Structure 1
Amino acid sequence: MSRTKKILLTLLAYLTAFIAAVCVSSFVLNQGKVSGEQQRSSADLPLLYVRTGGELMNEMHGYTEPVDGGYYRDTLTPVGESKTINLSMDTYGHNISSVSFELYNDQYTDLIESGDCTDMEKVNAMVQMQLQFKNTLYSNREYCLHLMLKNDQDQVYHYYTRVRYGSDLKVAEKLKFVLDFNETTFNKDSADALSSYLESTSSSSSSDKSLVTLYSSSDTVTWGSMAPYRTSEIAIRLKEINTETAAFTLSYTIESSAGDINTFYNVNEYYRLRWTDSKVYLLDFERRMAENIGLADITVSSGALRLGIGDASDIDYASYGTDQQQYTWVTGDQQLWLYDNTNRIMTKVYTEEDDNHNCGRQDEAGIKVVHADPETGDLYFIVYGYMHSGNYEGREGVMVYHFSHEDVLLEDLVFIPFNKGFEQMRSGLEELAYMNDDGTLYLLLEDTVYAIDVNMGKMDVAYKDLNSSNCTASGDGIFVMCDGGDENAGERLKIVDLNSGKERTIEGGDWRIVPLGYAGKDLIYGLIDPQMLTEDSSGVIRTPISEVHILDENYNEVKTYQKSGDYVMRLTISDGNISMKLAKAVKNGNYTDYQDAGEDYIIRNIENDDQKIYVDKQKDSIRGQQNWLHLNTSDSFVPISQSARYLDPGYDISRKYEDTDQVEMQYYVYTKGRMDAAFATIQEAVDYGTTYAGTIMTSHKQVIWQKAGRAYIWDLNIDSIDKTSNTQSMNSILIKTIADYEGWELNGTIDDAEPLFAAMTAVLPAETIDLSGLKLDDVLHFVYRDRVVAVKLSNNNYGLITAYDNDYVWIADPAKGEVYSMTQTAAEKLFEQNGKVYYSYMD
């Protein structure tokens, strides 16, 4: 073959390869579009606001599909005697042709009223309108308001807020106090004006500016030496309101140039106040601040990267890699960063911010790394909550992302819509969100574990019909669930290694068995005597644990705990330390009740890996304590900084999960304007809510208790009650009185032989709730919410609490056949003598 011919064939081969590469590239790019430095398409859904006293508040973000409004309590909109709400809309370029509304009860189950918003007109850059209710609204009830915006393409956007009706709420006056207080914090010369509202203590830190409270000094409240200024509008949200008290949150951004360094921060403030004609009392104040690190701010000093002001507990991080190449990822303030330790490159992988919507940050969002590839440096992570931008803007759910370290490219893999609120979603994902080396991601949503092939986008059910409270998982992919038994406990534990697929079991034998959690790599489980899984006198099945067992990662038993005569009723794990709430079993006729027996503890010395990457706090004279990430070096340098590019997949990546009507009862406590804690019992929730001035909402969507939300006088107007006789039993009289008051038809025949609580549960058309153990003051919250409360008056008699004022309570007593009053002091003593047994319901 001639040399010329060889050259031509070689050129032809290269040309063929080039054409093939172009075709492949064209195919890939046609499937998805790389959008340069931009993270995702910008947010552009319209925003709705409530106009009050000349201010815009309660910023509402739109949903592109309807959700269950009963789960959402981000804002509370007040309605006065005129029964109108004034709204403003920023259309963001959408041509909105109509706005309509639906008003529901607080659980979003019963439609009360629907209609259209009127008087739409454009005023400056906003569209204003008014909403008018016609039906009767009750002053001590919350409602769910669903607003629908329709554009000229007949596309509907959905917005949600809660509504409370009341007269003389003084919303504008209370809001003005909050805004004036905020404005004063930026004026150092006016610091003394704030002192009368603060309760400053010497123990409050002046150097930690990530959390400023009512107990901080006026100098700290006025930002110390930072001298910042706001760089955004203030997003105002009303959280609670009644005649005297109110709670607001403010969200905004600031910049500080102190010390010739420009730094930027996201700020969230919480105010709770009481209004009187003579004075305003600031009951609580909290300011949380987190630094918004920009690419230009990335420097390493003596081996440490400054993360800035912020709550250290919000920072998560891990190092991974090979002997030749090391990486460190870090999350905080809804951002994900990746540091290439070897090449000294810092990449901003993900941020929740969107400059197009200049709005307050949402608390109800989470980010979690589920897999880090040590060979490639790639990251897989989930973002869950409301999607503020991108292809799924206006949807709530779980987005699975992949970040390619080599290509500096972020891509969407799978989106799972979820419409039952953030807490229902978070509770499962915090228990299990793990991806193995084969690319299978396991997520727990409600009562089902899903297995997702992230490479193919395929989602299957791995395990279903679980009781999520009887499941646990380790950080390295060991999933434990009950097998056999019932919803309370299993006959055995099934242990699945999600990496290898191998399964093993731990038999309960003659016991019932439940997983209790992991302390490091140690599995903790409990054993229950099956004979103790019976109803107590209130009709509730308790799960008293007789023995606690601790196994190491090789399933060798390292500790057994049991205490004669005591049962473990609740167990919590924190940093390897195990605390247990104990109780003693007490016979009560044919039933077994449990009396508090204090607490006990197990201290486990969890062996931590030798961490050369860690976070600590250092402080300077201007910004105070700041978080620093130590990177296993002593050098000082400026790393290369970059942002991930974004690959739009170009097609629908959503996957449907199996919705369930069975929602495990949990009690969510909202404090300081956000969901703060969740508990399995109302008693624990009230205890926490009392300490932190909270509001309690159930996972079944009922708002049932508020620390600051009870009137001093309330009367259900139950003025008489029948007397027990041979023809009318106590159960019948009490339950029929409740049903008559509520206007209910009973779901069957009342069983006079059953304990009262069991009989109420069987026939009342509402969820019953056992309030036993609460203080009388806490029980009266249910009366204020127009719910009758049954109370034990003696061994064989119950009555109904029907009214109260500052000094007295009124009891409808079927044994006497009359309604009478008692001082609250005497009533509390009587109720304590009879075990503080209270029953009510949640409608």
Structure 2
Amino acid sequence: MKLQFHKKGIPTNILKRMAVLFVVFIISVVFFEIITNISESVKVSKQSDATLPIVSINFLGDASTELHGYVNEMDPAYMRDAIIPLDSERNVNISIQCKDFDVDSLEYAILSLDTQRNISKNKLNFNKKGDIITASFQAENLIEKNEEYLLVLTIKNDEREVYYYTRIMQPEGCNEEDILDFAQYFHKTALSDDAGDLATYIEPDPYTTSEDLSHVTINSSLSQVAYGTFDGKQVGDVRVSLTDISTNYITLTFNYLLTRKNDDKSEYYTCSEDFRIRYTADRIYLLAYDRTMEQLLDEDSVVIKNNLLNIGITDPNVQYLSNETGTIVSFVQNGSLYEYNQTDRKMKEIFTFVDNPTDPRLTYDQHQVLLLNIDESGTMDYVVYGYMNSGNHEGQCGINLFHYDAINDVSTEQVFITTSSSYQILNANFSELLYETADNDFYIMVNGTLLYMSLNELTTKELMTGLDDAQYAVSGSRRYLAWMDEATVAEVIHIMDLETGSSFDIKANEGEVLKPLAFIEDDFIYGAVKKNDIMVDGAGSTIYPMYKLTISGISTGKAYEQKTYQKSGYYINNIDLQSYTIYLDRIKIDADGTILPVEEDTIKNSVGEQNKAVPINTAMDDVKQQVVIFSMTPLEEDEKLGKVDYEMTGLVLADESRTVSVASATSSTQYFVYVGSKVSLATDDLISAIAEADANMGIVLDNEPKYVWKRGRKSYQNTITGIAVGSSDSEASGMARALSAMLVHEGENVQVHNLIESGETPISILSRTLKGYDILDLTGASLTQVLYYVNLGNPVYAYTGDDTAVLIVGYDAANIIYFDPMTNTNSKMGLSDAQEYFETYGNVFVSYIN
């Protein structure tokens, strides 16, 4: 038999297996080493320092306006931070803090407000002493008094050009120096130990006892105006911006920094004061006063005791998100983003431009931070939009999307979207639609363009363009978009789930059309209009009265009805959503077709806002007065908070391939309401814009831009002359005669009655005849609001029933003067009687501006 011999040691097959496993192990080690090295090669940094020069323009002796630079050319028409009042010689005095920035050349350009006319463009000689450059020039005598012009300064060196934008005006009869002196007196007195003299100018509300220093108005108490027990001192000079100059009033803004000592540590607070002041021969009137104050947080100013996070003086309506267990809260304060993790005992500074509060380039407040989401670990997505004070996008205006990884404590820049609009326009137009999916797809609505981006593949695609405000609505979670293809109403409303990319439709019943209105959280609100109810008002505008309103939930790719609102004889004209209440703007329609406003109605969400895991409260402080506090999850009975570390998060910056630009694509005229230097509303609804400006003593500009409405009209207007019915319409209806007289006033004589018989409306007749004019449908505005156009010297067409109308051609403090086209005479009517009279016919007004 054959002998078999067994070798001592490990069998061969096992050795082979071990060899294979060893090779696999080596390959794995090499692979993970490569991956680790790749991940380690990602450069984690912090926000780089500001480098651009600050330009100061001095005026009225000791005042100066600060201008911040842009590395790309902006749309100058919307750069409205300030107006520089020129002296009688039209001198402009410039000072530039250039620091380490080399300046090779300096030039200026003066343009008309609508940018269509170049007044002048010249290079400037300058002097340099240390890091300060000074220059001056005399504006050309082509500029007219009391008219605004754009001033663009350009600083150049071998590497780049930096642009600075402002407005200039040579005022006459505006008393700008006296008004500035008063504002400076008010500011200094409020900070002094004795502010009693200011009681003459403020209008305290006796029913409020607020001790909130974060927001003070003309209706606040004298104690609040005088900073109460707060012991802060001003740091540096006040930065002055005159924002509106007229013979009726001047608005101006002061920006400055306050500091106070707390246990030998310095705390800093940014402050902004808005004034509206009128000068008369008898006295100066403070028409409006609004001051905001906000603490700059740092390691020394955050107070954490037990489960309470005290963030000091700030707006109680803090933007914040928390995880579900209430152990992590992320919040925005003074343009910076912070996150507190109670479990890890860490306070993190996620994003900020401010590493030196005394550098005005870093505290420039023309940006916002928007939180998009947060998970249980504190990982979140957020957006920084507006002017970039420092960093790799310094001097640009845009939208920056970041992802913060709480595990690795790193914020990664994902995409930067550039814009040529100012921060104020961007902020007012900023859509609620920003959504990032789990698959790193990003959707954003910018100026009517829905942009899709794959953050993995760095591809972009425009999904829709030219959407106006009334065409779409966005859900509270930003996940759902509802839109219609038509501009006003449609038979189909589309709804897209951005997370999945799927869409479905809501279809109108037979003989009806639909109108998307809004979302309340993720419940969709839309109105239904019967086609037979669609009508044209006395001005010629089409009205879509909604007979029913529906609130629908969204689930599994379809909508389901939750609630409907319908009341016989009443129609819904529009809605206003505030918190969890829907305010219904309602109308009735008479048998003769007259539209009459009626009392509003409301729909309240009985569920309301769900309790947040981290509630926010206010408390009183002996020095700061009202402070804002987050109440985190209570600690265990025997648990002690211990030391809380303050950390600055790392930043991973994207390369240039992740920078894109989106052009504006809205098709309609937009109106911007400026209150001081801030845009409080951007809308395509003129009446809403006028109402907002009227309520806040603001102004309305369109997107050319030109002034469309101002609160500050004269107290009286002499009767407009040259009002007469054209000979060809002397036997026509009252409507035709009124329109004829309007056109004759502007040098046009056409057969209006023939145009009306052919189906034309007042709006269409004026639009086709008055070339070079903007025809304004003012239906729904109040009588006092439309008197602004009479103040400009333009008659206002007022509908007074079927085929009849009058022209408002003058006014005084108690009366209006109207032209009756049937008698060719002017008559007076008491202001209150006239208000009631025109309301009876639906406040249908039409006017125009050149």
Question: Which TM-score band (shorter chain)?
Answer: 0.7 to 0.9
Q: How far 1:477 moved relative to its partner?
A: 4.3
Aligned pair partner of 2:122 in 95, 116, 120: 116
Aligned pair partner of 1:53 in 51, 60, 75: 60
Quick check: 1:298–1:638 contact (8 Å CA) kept in 2?
Answer: no
- Look up the match of 1:491: 491
Q: How far 1:481 moved relative to its partner?
A: 2.3
- Look up the match of 1:574: 578
Q: How far 1:597 moved relative to its partner?
A: 1.0
* CA distance in structure 2 between the aligned counterparts of 1:744 and 1:48, rounded to whole angstroms: 49
2:843 equivalent to 1:841? no
Tell me, what secondary structure is at the counterpart of 1:226? Answer: coil
- Look up the match of 1:34: 44
Aligned ranges for residues 814-829 of structure 1 at < 5 Å?
A: 815-816=822-823, 820=826, 822=828, 825=831
- Look up the match of 1:721: 724
- Look up the match of 2:340: 339
- Which stretch has the larger CA shift, 809-818 or 778-787? 809-818
- Look up the match of 2:461: 460
- Look up the match of 2:695: 691
- Look up the match of 2:256: 252
* CA distance in structure 2 between the aligned counterparts of 1:250 and 1:311, rounded to whole angstroms: 19
Quick check: 1:96–1:149 contact (8 Å CA) kept in 2?
Answer: no
* CA distance in structure 2 between the aligned counterparts of 1:327 and 1:653, rounded to whole angstroms: 30
* CA distance in structure 2 between the aligned counterparts of 1:441 and 1:606, rounded to whole angstroms: 31
Quick check: 1:548–1:562 contact (8 Å CA) kept in 2?
Answer: yes
- Look up the match of 1:168: 173
Q: How far 1:695 moved relative to its partner?
A: 1.7
Aligned pair partner of 1:127 in 134, 150, 163: 134
* CA distance in structure 2 between the aligned counterparts of 1:21 and 1:171, rounded to whole angstroms: 69
1:109/1:12 CA distance change after superposition, 3 Å: same
- Which stretch has the larger CA shift, 116-125 or 364-373? 116-125
- Look up the match of 2:156: 151
> How large is the RMSD of aligned CA atoms in angstroms?
3.8
Tell me, what secondary structure is at the counterpart of 1:613? Answer: coil
* CA distance in structure 1 between the aligned counterparts of 2:31 and 2:479, rounded to whole angstroms: 48
Quick check: 2:817–2:827 contact (8 Å CA) kept in 1?
Answer: yes
1:547/1:209 CA distance change after superposition, 3 Å: same
- Look up the match of 1:762: 768
Tell me, what secondary structure is at the counterpart of 2:71? Answer: coil
> For 1:315-366, what per-residue CA distance to the aligned partner results, in whole angstroms no more than 9, with x for missing partners?
3223258xxx964322232111123343222211112436484159555432
The answer for unaligned runs of 5 or more in structure 1 is none
> For 1:138-157, what per-residue CA distance to the aligned partner results, in whole angstroms no more than 9, with x for missing partners?
53x5x340413141328433
Q: Which amino acid aligns with 1:499?
A: E
Quick check: 2:302–2:312 contact (8 Å CA) kept in 1?
Answer: no
State, as a whole percentage, how many aligned pairs show the same letter: 21
Q: Which amino acid aligns with 2:173?
A: D
Aligned ranges for residues 329-728 of structure 1 at < 5 Å?
A: 329-353=330-354, 355=356, 357-359=359-361, 361=363, 364-374=366-376, 377-422=378-423, 425-426=426-427, 429-484=430-485, 486-510=486-510, 511-554=512-555, 555-586=559-590, 588=592, 592-606=593-607, 608-634=609-635, 635-660=640-665, 662-671=666-675, 673-678=677-682, 681-699=685-703, 701-707=705-711, 709-712=712-715, 718-719=721-722, 721-725=724-728
Quick check: 2:322–2:613 contact (8 Å CA) kept in 1?
Answer: no
Tell me, what secondary structure is at the counterpart of 1:503? Answer: strand
Quick check: 1:121–1:129 contact (8 Å CA) kept in 2?
Answer: no
Of the two, which has the highest radius of gyration?
Answer: 2
> For 1:441-488, what per-residue CA distance to the aligned partner results, in whole angstroms no more than 9, with x for missing partners?
11111222112222333222233443332322223343232345x211
* CA distance in structure 2 between the aligned counterparts of 1:361 and 1:716, rounded to whole angstroms: 51
* CA distance in structure 2 between the aligned counterparts of 1:203 and 1:150, rounded to whole angstroms: 53
- Look up the match of 1:95: 103
Quick check: 1:207–1:623 contact (8 Å CA) kept in 2?
Answer: no
Quick check: 1:299–1:637 contact (8 Å CA) kept in 2?
Answer: no
- Look up the match of 1:293: 297
Tell me, what secondary structure is at the counterpart of 1:512? Answer: strand
1:833/1:18 CA distance change after superposition, 3 Å: closer
Q: How far 1:85 moved relative to its partner?
A: 3.6
Q: Which amino acid aligns with 1:98?
A: L
Aligned pair partner of 1:242 in 235, 241, 246: 246
* CA distance in structure 2 between the aligned counterparts of 1:736 and 1:138, rounded to whole angstroms: 34
* CA distance in structure 1 between the aligned counterparts of 2:212 and 2:477, rounded to whole angstroms: 34
Q: Which amino acid aligns with 2:117?
A: L
* CA distance in structure 2 between the aligned counterparts of 1:788 and 1:28, rounded to whole angstroms: 71
Quick check: 2:748–2:769 contact (8 Å CA) kept in 1?
Answer: no
Quick check: 1:251–1:361 contact (8 Å CA) kept in 2?
Answer: no
TM-score, normalised on structure 1?
Answer: 0.87
Quick check: 2:740–2:749 contact (8 Å CA) kept in 1?
Answer: no
Quick check: 1:70–1:701 contact (8 Å CA) kept in 2?
Answer: yes
* CA distance in structure 1 between the aligned counterparts of 2:630 and 2:762, rounded to whole angstroms: 59
Q: Which amino acid aligns with 1:617?
A: T
* CA distance in structure 1 between the aligned counterparts of 2:337 and 2:796, rounded to whole angstroms: 49
Quick check: 1:117–1:132 contact (8 Å CA) kept in 2?
Answer: no
Q: Which amino acid aligns with 2:579?
A: D
* CA distance in structure 1 between the aligned counterparts of 2:170 and 2:802, rounded to whole angstroms: 41
* CA distance in structure 1 between the aligned counterparts of 2:611 and 2:821, rounded to whole angstroms: 68
* CA distance in structure 1 between the aligned counterparts of 2:74 and 2:577, rounded to whole angstroms: 34
Quick check: 1:538–1:756 contact (8 Å CA) kept in 2?
Answer: yes
Quick check: 1:551–1:557 contact (8 Å CA) kept in 2?
Answer: yes
2:317 equivalent to 1:316? no
Q: Which amino acid aligns with 2:775?
A: T
- Look up the match of 1:273: 277
> For 1:155-177, what per-residue CA distance to the aligned partner results, in whole angstroms no more than 9, with x for missing partners?
43322223444313222222122
Q: How far 1:568 moved relative to its partner?
A: 0.9
Q: How far 1:628 moved relative to its partner?
A: 0.8
Quick check: 1:810–1:822 contact (8 Å CA) kept in 2?
Answer: yes
1:526/1:52 CA distance change after superposition, 3 Å: same
Q: Which amino acid aligns with 2:436?
A: M
* CA distance in structure 1 between the aligned counterparts of 2:277 and 2:284, rounded to whole angstroms: 7
1:206/1:524 CA distance change after superposition, 3 Å: closer
* CA distance in structure 2 between the aligned counterparts of 1:490 and 1:301, rounded to whole angstroms: 56
Q: Which amino acid aligns with 1:152?
A: N
2:208 equivalent to 1:198? no
1:319/1:744 CA distance change after superposition, 3 Å: farther
Q: How far 1:719 moved relative to its partner?
A: 3.4
Tell me, what secondary structure is at the counterpart of 2:544? Answer: coil
Q: How far 1:286 moved relative to its partner?
A: 2.0
1:585/1:732 CA distance change after superposition, 3 Å: closer
Q: How far 1:236 moved relative to its partner?
A: 1.3
* CA distance in structure 1 between the aligned counterparts of 2:761 and 2:181, rounded to whole angstroms: 53
- Look up the match of 1:207: 211
- Which stretch has the larger CA shift, 347-356 or 174-183? 347-356
Tell me, what secondary structure is at the counterpart of 1:523? Answer: strand
Aligned ranges for residues 210-225 of structure 1 at < 5 Å?
A: 210-225=214-229
* CA distance in structure 2 between the aligned counterparts of 1:473 and 1:11, rounded to whole angstroms: 55
Quick check: 1:70–1:144 contact (8 Å CA) kept in 2?
Answer: no
* CA distance in structure 2 between the aligned counterparts of 1:721 and 1:211, rounded to whole angstroms: 52
Tell me, what secondary structure is at the counterpart of 1:461? Answer: strand
- Look up the match of 2:287: 283
Aligned ranges for residues 766-777 of structure 1 at < 5 Å?
A: 766-777=773-784
Q: How many residues align?
A: 818
